[in-house]
Amino acid sequence: MQSLRVHLLGCGRMGSALARGWVASPRLRLSLSIEDPAPATDCRTFLVQNGAVFGPLSQPPDVLVLAIKPQAYPGSLSLIRPMARPRTLVVSIMAGITSAQLTAELGTGRVVRAMPNTPAAIGRGITSWVCAAGCDDGDLRHAQSLLEATGPAVRLNDEAELDIATAIAGCGPAYVFLLTEVLAAVGEARGLAPAIAASLARATVTGSAALMEARPADAPSALRHEVTSPQGVTAAALDILMASEDGLKVLMDRAIAAALVRSAELGAR
């Protein structure tokens, strides 16, 4: 991969996770500049020590990465437009802001929309992405290389799929953390000491995830069946969680639907 000039606008949780992955990757050759009014001090120190420069652009970038909040995008257009030169690839991780909007408002069809998730901060994320019609083969290679620096990067067919992937994988870590919270809270409510309930819940979630990773050929349903003795204790609990009227699948479908609605709202201005 040729050396790239990459400019990152926004260095919050996701922006900083991407930046850390880029500077730590032995496969990437890039010069990284970052613009953020208040980056975390520890993150800034690490990135500067690894060659990143904080401040406005000194020359047009090859890749402009938009990692600001979607709510901040309209007010940032006057800053973004001069950066999006005809040969600049624009990579956006803003939820809800479509490629059509970016193309119309920035004057370029060389647009990639991507959605990483927070495990990217430790190199264990997964990113879904799509490209606009104006991207060429070089743009696709650059996007793939940059996005997979923090974990697998999966190219999807269209933005409808990206919205669904965002609601599942982009938001998904929050669902897992909530499950851990709820397991601990219920254990505490049923009489366990808070520290013990929290430890049991956390170890159960992380251990189960590690087991899935260690056995990729086995479907989660197969692993679930291994835990579930017929008419046993786990089966009694799963009868509630898998109820057809109000079980976990129904509740999760409602949650994903709400996330999709909110994504559409963020893009409507």
Cα 258 versus chain centre, distance? 18
What are the pLDDT digits (tens) for 74-84?
A: 999 999 999 99
Q: What is the reported pLDDT for 269?
A: 61
Burial track 131-167 (b if 16+ CB lie within 10 A, e otherwise): bbeebeeebeebbbbbbbbbbebbbbeebeebbbbbb
Other residues' Cβ atoms within 10 Å of the Cβ of residue 63: 21
Instruction: List the one residue out of 165, 122, 129, 142 whose CA is nearest residue 13.
Output: 122
Look at 42 and 66; give whichever has higher pLDDT. Answer: 66
What are the pLDDT digits (tens) for 53-96?
A: 999 888 889 999 999 999 999 999 999 999 998 889 999 999 98
What are the pLDDT digits (tens) for 126-145?
A: 999 999 999 999 999 999 99
Q: What is the reported pLDDT for 145?
A: 95
Q: Which residues are within 8 A (CB) of 99 and not within 5 positions of it... i.e. 6 or more apart?
A: 111, 113, 130, 131, 132, 159
Q: Which domains does the chain have, with CATH numbers?
A: 4-157 (3.40.50.720), 172-267 (1.10.3730.10)
Q: Please determine, for residue 1, whether its predicted confidence score (pLDDT) is greater than 50.
A: no
Show the beta-strand stretches assigned E in the chain: 4-9, 30-35, 53-54, 63-66, 89-92, 111-115, 127-131, 153-155
What are the pLDDT digits (tens) for 6-15?
A: 999 999 989 9
What is the pTM (predicted TM-score) of this model?
Answer: 0.91
What are the pLDDT digits (tens) for 165-181?
A: 999 999 999 999 999 99
If you average pLDDT over every residue of the chain, what do you get? 94
What are the pLDDT digits (tens) for 247-262?
A: 999 999 999 999 999 9
Q: What is the reported pLDDT for 267?
A: 74
